[in-house]
Chains A and B, each alone.
Chain A
């Protein structure tokens, strides 16, 4: 046999295998879950992975006659990895959904692949507004920073806070949070007296906090990545800003449920706007928190809820299409879908495929010896206001 005919034979058998593969994939519906399971964002990945497992335990792994199989991949929040993994999942594993995405760049890296493969991309964590504009197959179940930052801006302006100093981390979500807050707060008559952007890898907040203190604002608006919030609150109290009567306000990411207890009493009284608190007083949430605590020994945070609702969205969409896995049909099924999540009533905006949800104003209080974000005001059905104006 000549080399040429060998090659032809090899090519032929590969083609035959490829032709057979989709027939086999019909039996199961595969979900490629791409999350940061290692690295600085690992807590996000773990929460979402836990929540997905919990939902599947509670609701079984068959939907509309199809068996659901989740393939978990770790991208360590590096967009290059996300892209490679998404491609492998789509081409080799023939997944029907890609889901997860801990950070914005990761969600954006996978967007062209979702469009090309006509595969729904369920964003369960990343929170920049532009994400859903990058592919008609992207549907989001987490939140956008604009949702919480505009609401806290409105709330602050209406509740006697006149002068605010801002301290935000110098990266895309930090700048998003700052701009949306500023826009709504100044429109409501408030004044920004000091604006500090701190480097992302910031070891010590001391000098920035001293600057805040000297500016004598009514409140400090803060957005730092999950994890740094604890250091911020401790140094805020150490420097006596709480005693100087300066409040802390911000989007709720800083007061994430899984970090809150580690911050200590310094966090008491902080007012934030966010989509979810483990203390949300609804039957659905109490059940969710109890089940999550029992399964994983800790409190769920807003990231876990994003994952829980994300997998639920996939289940419901499959039910609606009768198990058909055509990408366009699935996305069409998801549009306008409404349900009661642990965080409260939510829906998918049919126009933007982004989440519409209640934003709650919460204050950190001590409940049964533990710190919780206790909700005291609700802004209902908040849409993302950060989309490109058309």
Chain B
């Protein structure tokens, strides 16, 4: 019985991690209708920045995490202003070709600068190991992931639903022409949203180094997972991807534990079943543009 809870706990942590990594993609894909396959590159950037700061410059881990967010977001803004902006109105195929090219460039660049071997981030001792809670093994690092990601999710939901910025964003997405007619600076809203999504990816990248491993092929390896989260969750809100991440995380961990021979396929099976049942994802809008 306690094992069941440990599995559940690990699955939730894994799912939360997937969510932080992928929710930026859900925002750009769903809200801005832009296919950004280079999303993982921002996650990798965050991861490497955190690793360099902690390992080489001796920063404490918790100070490096916000910086991973900020730097990834800054890179996001720079690229959005210079490159992405021109592709908003282009066809999805153009967007895919452009962003996949960007992904390959990021892989080659990081390989050149940082080397191709896997790197680790030195963690503070307080985050290592497991403790027992009523017999259930709780990993400290995974607990931290759940706490950070949980808070982020709540904050995101509040910002989108309750603040002026959130309503501007939703307006800009629903009808950009009418929104700009009402005096909303649509490009600015998009740029900010894009940057925030990239920042989240950067933070996710930094958090995931310990669990998923960080090497220059990160953006390619995990692109599938990000896309699964967004397809299963539907891209119209962030609740969808959130639930999808949890479902996939728990499904993946439990599947690998209980049926190790089938382990890697469980996540795909879940995806197929859900998409047959709801082709637009769990919370998809039927009439997507």
Contacts and interface: CB of A to CB of B under 8 A. Distances in A.
B116 A207 contact: no
A227 B254 CA distance: 25
Contacts of A199: 263-264
Contact of A240 (B108, B129, B217, B264): B129
A58 B137 CA distance: 54
B213 interface: yes
A198 B215 CA distance: 19
Interface stretch (A208-216, A323-331, A353-361, A377-385): A208-216
Interface in A254-288: 258-259, 262-264
Contacts of A227: 117-118, 213, 215
Given A203-B213, A264-B120, A240 B10 contact: no
Interface string B106-139: 0010010001111110100000111000000101
Nearest to A235: B211
B193 to A, nearest CB: 28
A239 B120 contact: no
A332 interface: no
B42 to A, nearest CB: 18
A263 B213 CA distance: 12
Contact of A40 (B116, B119, B140, B252): B116
Contact of A238 (B118, B139, B212): B139
Nearest to B17: A204
Q: How large is the interface on A (under 10, 10 to 19, 20 to 34, 35 or more residues)?
A: 20 to 34
Q: SS class of chain B's interface: helix, strand, loop or mixed?
A: helix
Contact of B120 (A204, A210, A230): A230
B117 A211 contact: no
A38 interface: yes
Contacts of A264: 120, 122
A38 B111 CA distance: 8
Nearest to B117: A43
Contacts of B187: none
Nearest to B249: A204
Contacts of A206: 10, 14, 211, 253
Interface residues of B, number: 40
A14 interface: no
Given A239-B139, A262-B119, A196 B213 contact: no
Contact of A38 (B3, B116, B122): B116
Contact of B260 (A208, A230, A237, A262): A208
A200 to B, nearest CB: 9
Contacts of B119: 262
A234 interface: yes
A36 B215 CA distance: 16
Nearest to B264: A199
Contact of A231 (B129, B213, B260): B213
Contacts of B137: 239-240
Contacts of A240: 129-130, 137
A264 B217 CA distance: 23
Contacts of B210: 234
B141 to A, nearest CB: 6
Contacts of B111: 38, 42
Nearest to B11: A207
A292 B37 CA distance: 41
- For A199, A207, A230, A263, which residue has the most chain B Cβ atoms within 10 angstroms? A207
A377 B160 CA distance: 63
A39 interface: yes
A228 interface: yes
Contacts of B128: 237-238
B7 A210 contact: yes
Most chain B beta carbons < 10 A, residue from A198, A206, A234, A263? A206
Q: Give the most central of B117, B120, B141, B217: most A CB within 10 Å.
A: B117
A228 B141 CA distance: 19
A12 to B, nearest CB: 44
Contacts of B118: 227-228, 230-231, 259, 262
Interface string A279-313: 00000000000000000000000000000000000
A238 B13 CA distance: 14
B239 interface: no
B222 interface: yes
Most chain B beta-carbon contacts within 10 A, residue among A208, A258, A263: A208
Given A230-B120, A234-B120, A203 B211 contact: yes
A240 B138 CA distance: 10
A211 B260 CA distance: 9
A42 B107 CA distance: 13
Interface string B186-202: 00000000000000000
A353 B221 CA distance: 38
Contacts of B33: none
Given A206-B253, A231-B213, 17 more contacts: A42-B116, A42-B117, A43-B116, A203-B221, A207-B10, A207-B254, A208-B260, A208-B263, A210-B6, A210-B7, A214-B3, A238-B140, A238-B141, A239-B130, A259-B117, A263-B120, A264-B122
Going nearest first, the 4 A-B pairs with the smallest beta carbon separation are: A207-B256, A42-B116, A207-B257, A199-B264
19 contacts: A38-B108, A40-B215, A43-B116, A43-B117, A198-B260, A203-B212, A207-B253, A208-B256, A208-B260, A211-B257, A214-B3, A227-B118, A227-B215, A230-B118, A231-B213, A235-B211, A238-B140, A239-B137, A264-B120
